[in-house]
């Protein structure tokens, strides 16, 4: 009989994103033990308790939080959400300096207590910070990546599903590139139940996803976070559950294909060390393979532009090479 090895998930940051991530992990039973670490120790302890008090109605995970980094000892996976949050009108790249400093101080201690953990960066700009984190920790690139455009792809599918009036689960469409302003959907491969999106017709029999409609949807998917931030100050629930979908794929050893952000050196003619999102196979070893997605020339050009933006930011914070 196979025996279950207990899994331990660490979440760094007990703010809006970290607590939503830990809560989603508990609801979905993503790990046997869930710990939340924050320099604001009381906050982390309180979030841990609040989530733990509901475990009777969720998975019976052991949940706790605190301000001592020891709480992360021997985690199998650590999701990093600590950092400065995006203010209204501020781009994700504006956050970079503050968050690089936080990572330099924090990550060496994390790796000391959890040396075999898989590290996933959610803190923005997550593509840049995944590379920074990999360099600070010296982890192999497959074990240090960012949540990338998993969330953006879910937003895109939600928009397409609403327009076509079909279940979101029947929409196959992906956002790739930067988790940020230069991201883009790979329309050439998008489909609903095997019908290419370009062929999909509305109730009147006319093509629904015209160039103008696709442009609007791509823009809405990219701007989705800005709209939520305007209304409630930050985003947290959708990123929390997206992060946990990735955790499940890792800790469950799923070999799932998700749009994670890793260094893709050499693919599509992209040199340098930028991490960008592309559909990738993820399992207990981390991101084990980035898929060679067929893209048209225009899409490849956009991907290169996205990688160029990330590379520029990496260089501006001294992590370019
Ligand atoms: P928040 O301000 O609510 O929480 C951040 C937490 O980090 C705070 O509790 C703070 O005490 C903690 N922190 C700061 N420095 C720390 C350190 N050195 N060690 C431990 N903890 C530390 O912010 P939030 O709304 O939870 O957002 C967190 C991050 O997630 C931001 O960078 C935001 O842009 C990002 N985010 C990413 C995505 C994505 O898709 N990648 C989506 C939403 C938000």
Chain-centroid distance of CA 194 in Å reads 26
pLDDT digits (tens, 9 = 90+) for 270-294: 988 999 999 999 999 999 999 999 9
Residue 301: pLDDT above 70?
A: yes
Q: What is the pLDDT of residue 271?
A: 86
- Mean pLDDT, residues 199-209: 95
Q: How many residues does the chain have?
A: 321
Q: Does the CB atom of residue 51 touch ligand 1 within 6 A?
A: no
CATH number of the domain that residue 50 is part of = 3.40.50.720
Exposed/middle/buried for residue 266 (C-beta within 10 Å: 0-12, 13-18, 19+): exposed
In a domain, 46, yes or no: yes
Residue 9: pLDDT above 60?
A: yes
In a domain, 3, yes or no: no
**Please, where are the H alpha helices in 119-210?**
126-137, 150-164
Residue 128: pLDDT above 70?
A: yes
Whether 277 and 204 share a structural domain: yes
- Domain boundary residue among 146, 173, 205? 146
Chain-centroid distance of CA 176 in Å reads 12
User: Which ligand 1 atom is at minimum distance from the Cα of 105?
Assistant: 18
Q: Are 171 and 160 in contact (CB under 8 A)?
A: yes
Q: What is the pLDDT of residue 92?
A: 63
Q: Does the CB atom of residue 66 touch ligand 1 within 6 A?
A: no
Q: Does the CB atom of residue 317 touch ligand 1 within 6 A?
A: no
179 is catalytic: yes
Q: Are 227 and 86 in contact (CB under 8 A)?
A: no
- Domain boundary residue among 146, 171, 196? 146
Residue 93: pLDDT above 70?
A: no
Chain-centroid distance of CA 262 in Å reads 11
Q: What is the DSSP letter of 85?
A: P
Q: What is the pLDDT of residue 5?
A: 86
pLDDT digits (tens, 9 = 90+) for 153-175: 999 999 999 999 999 999 999 99
pLDDT digits (tens, 9 = 90+) for 53-74: 999 999 999 999 999 999 999 9
Domain encompassing residue 264: 150-314
Q: What is the pLDDT of residue 172?
A: 97
How much is the pTM?
Answer: 0.96
CATH number of the domain that residue 291 is part of = 3.90.110.10
Whether 211 and 229 share a structural domain: yes
């Amino acid at each position: 009989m196979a025996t279950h090895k207990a899994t331990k998930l660490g979440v760094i940051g007990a703010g809006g994103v970290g607590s939503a991530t830990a809560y989603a992990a508990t609801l979905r039973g993503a790990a046997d033990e869930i710990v939340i670490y924050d320099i604001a120790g009381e906050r982390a302890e309180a979030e841990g308790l609040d989530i733990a008090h509901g475990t009777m109605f969720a998975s019976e995970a052991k949940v706790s939080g605190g301000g001592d980094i020891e709480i992360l000892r021997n985690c199998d996976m650590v999701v990093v959400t600590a950092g400065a949050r995006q203010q209204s009108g501020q781009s994700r790249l504006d956050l970079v300096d503050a968050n690089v400093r936080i990572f330099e101080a924090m990550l060496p201690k994390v790796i000391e207590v959890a040396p075999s953990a898989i590290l996933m960066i959610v803190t923005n700009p997550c593509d840049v910070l995944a590379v920074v984190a990999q360099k600070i920790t010296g982890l192999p690139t497959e074990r240090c990546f960012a949540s990338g455009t998993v969330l953006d792809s879910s937003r895109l599918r939600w928009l397409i599903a609403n327009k076509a009036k079909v279940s979101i689960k029947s929409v196959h469409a992906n956002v790739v590139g930067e988790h940020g302003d230069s991201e883009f959907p790979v329309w050439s491969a998008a489909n609903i139940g095997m019908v290419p999106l370009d062929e999909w017709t509305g109730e009147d029999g006319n093509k629904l996803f015209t160039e103008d409609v696709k442009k609007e949807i791509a823009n809405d998917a990219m701007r989705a976070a800005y709209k939520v931030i305007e209304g409630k100050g930050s985003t947290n629930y959708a990123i929390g559950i997206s992060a946990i979908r990735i955790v499940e794929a890792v800790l469950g050893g799923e070999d799932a294909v998700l749009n994670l952000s890793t260094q893709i050196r050499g693919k599509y003619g992209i040199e340098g060390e930028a991490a960008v999102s592309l559909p990738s196979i993820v399992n207990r070893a981390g991101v084990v393979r980035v898929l060679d997605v067929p893209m048209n020339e225009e899409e490849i050009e956009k991907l290169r532009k996205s990688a160029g933006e990330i590379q520029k930011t990496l260089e501006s914070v001294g992590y370019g090479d």
